[in-house]
């Protein structure tokens, strides 16, 4: 099933599949983030300054920063953050390890906290790893106000079911609304000669 969507900038009409989940919806709601508490974990002090300032512009009420990934657990606990923004490449402990620890309840905060990975590592391999560790969304550096805002909105509006299994903890990784194969109905469709 498709629907016509008018692009807000180009004015072109696009025919897109009807969005089933808001996280993949075509247009992004503009959110008031004043209620949000966020923590930024990045070993590069300048990057944390930039993100803190951008989050300030977005009127995020409480922003905590942490430049030492080894001290991130305590910082996250103290900040009572709703949103954890984390870099991937950090000395001593990678952002992906941190995401894994949060999702597996080793940090002492609710394991369903929103996690936004912000990194210049956007190779398929890293994106897959971040997704498999349970990140809600991944934003590629270089950052701009729009990309960061869009990433935050996507992460906090992510309404995918939260999965907790021995091998994976995080938002459901199924992104396509493809019905499961139904062998019964397949059999019915087959011609009688093939049965």
Partner 1 sequence: MLKRRKDRLREITPAEFRRMESDATKVTADLAGMFQGNFRAAINAIETLLTYPDFWDATWRRRLYRLSHDLKGLGGTFNYGLATTVGDSLCGLIRNDALPGDHSLQRRILAHVAALKAILQFDLKGDGGRQGDELLATLGMEPTKRQAN
Q: From CA 161, how far away is CA 165, in angstroms rounded?
A: 12
The minimum distance between CB 185 and partner 1, in angstroms, equals 33
Build a one-symbol-per-residue string for 68-87: x at contacts with partner 1 by CB under 8 A, - elsewhere: --------------xx----
Side-chain-side CA neighbours of residue 93 (13 Å): 16
**Is residue 101 within the footprint of partner 1 (CB under 8 A)?**
no
Q: Helix, strand or coil for residue 65?
A: strand
Q: What does the DSSP 8-state code read for residue 130? A: H
Cα 160 to its chain centre, rounded Å, is 11
Q: Are 33 and 85 in contact (CB under 8 A)?
A: no
**Is residue 144 within the footprint of partner 1 (CB under 8 A)?**
yes
Q: Helix, strand or coil for residue 61?
A: coil
**Residue whose CB is less far from partner 1, 163 or 184:** 163
**Is residue 125 within the footprint of partner 1 (CB under 8 A)?**
no
Q: Which residue has the tokens 């498999």?
A: 132
**Is residue 25 within the footprint of partner 1 (CB under 8 A)?**
no
**Is residue 20 within the footprint of partner 1 (CB under 8 A)?**
no
**Is residue 98 within the footprint of partner 1 (CB under 8 A)?**
no
**Residues lying near partner 1 in the complex (CB under 8 A):** 29-33, 35-36, 44, 46-47, 49-50, 53-54, 56-59, 82-83, 89, 91, 112-114, 119-121, 136, 141-146, 149, 156-160, 162, 171
């Amino acid at each position: 099933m498709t629907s016509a969507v008018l692009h807000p900038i180009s004015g072109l009409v696009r025919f897109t599949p009807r969005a089933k989940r808001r996280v993949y919806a075509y247009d992004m709601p503009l959110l008031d983030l004043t209620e949000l508490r966020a923590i930024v974990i990045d070993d590069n002090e300048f990057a944390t300054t930039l993100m803190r300032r951008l989050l300030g512009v977005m009127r995020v009420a409480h922003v905590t920063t942490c430049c030492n990934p080894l001290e991130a657990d305590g910082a996250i606990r103290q900040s009572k953050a709703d949103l954890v923004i984390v870099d991937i490449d950090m000395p001593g402990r990678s952002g992906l390890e941190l995401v894994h620890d949060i999702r597996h309840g080793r940090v002492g905060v609710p394991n369903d906290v929103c996690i936004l990975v912000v990194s210049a590592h956007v190779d398929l391999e890293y994106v897959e790893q971040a997704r498999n560790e349970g990140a809600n969304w991944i934003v590629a550096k270089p950052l701009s106000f729009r990309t960061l805002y869009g990433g935050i909105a996507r992460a906090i509006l992510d309404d995918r079911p939260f999965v907790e299994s021995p091998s994976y903890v995080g938002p459901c990784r199924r992104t396509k609304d493809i019905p499961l194969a139904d062998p019964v109905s397949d059999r019915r469709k087959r011609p009688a000669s093939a049965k």
